[in-house]
Amino acid sequence: MNTPDSGLLLFRNTMRVTEGHLEEFRRAIDRAVAFVERRGPQLMVEVFIDEERMLAHSFQVYRDSDAVREHWKLSDPYIQDVMAHCRVERFEVFGEPDEHVVAGIREALGDAADPVFAPRLTGFVRFGAPRDGRG
């Protein structure tokens, strides 16, 4: 099903893990993800680590800009804990956040990275168990 009026936002954050901080980074990410799984508004969070290149990739899906603001309010201490062990190399936003969220992203990144915004064209969401009995 195409969802033409979808306010969904997908964030992809590519982080360079600080040399010698891999284990601390892992622990901080684990704590942050456990917290948002219990209390955060995200529909999905997945984090992948390329240890050879010391890069981590975080993908987060939000229902809308209000959910992003709620996440920031609830999770700031966890975000700060993670950022003590890495720096943002690239931050991509897929979808169309409101101006407040765009400004918040730009402010949070400062000179670390220039965020990339890509408006949604089309698509669908299939979260949850399949309805046709497969799976």
Residues 110-123: pLDDT tens digits? Answer: 999 999 999 999 98
pLDDT of residue 134: 54
Residues 43-68: pLDDT tens digits? Answer: 999 999 999 999 999 999 999 999 99
pLDDT of residue 1: 42
Evaluate whether 89 touches 54 at the Cβ level (below 8 Å).
no
- Beta-bridge partner residues of 16: 55, 87
pLDDT of residue 6: 76
Q: What is the pTM of this model?
A: 0.88
State the SS3 of the chain.
CCCCCCCCEEEEEEEEECCCCHHHHHHHHHHHHHHHHHHCCCCEEEEEEECCCCEEEEEEEECCHHHHHHHHHHHHHHHHHHHCCEEEEEEEEECCCCHHHHHHHHHHHCCCCCCEEECCCCCCCCCCCCCCCCC
pLDDT of residue 126: 80
Q: Report, as ranges of residue numbers, the positions in the chain whose pLDDT lies below 50.
A: 1, 135
pLDDT of residue 5: 58
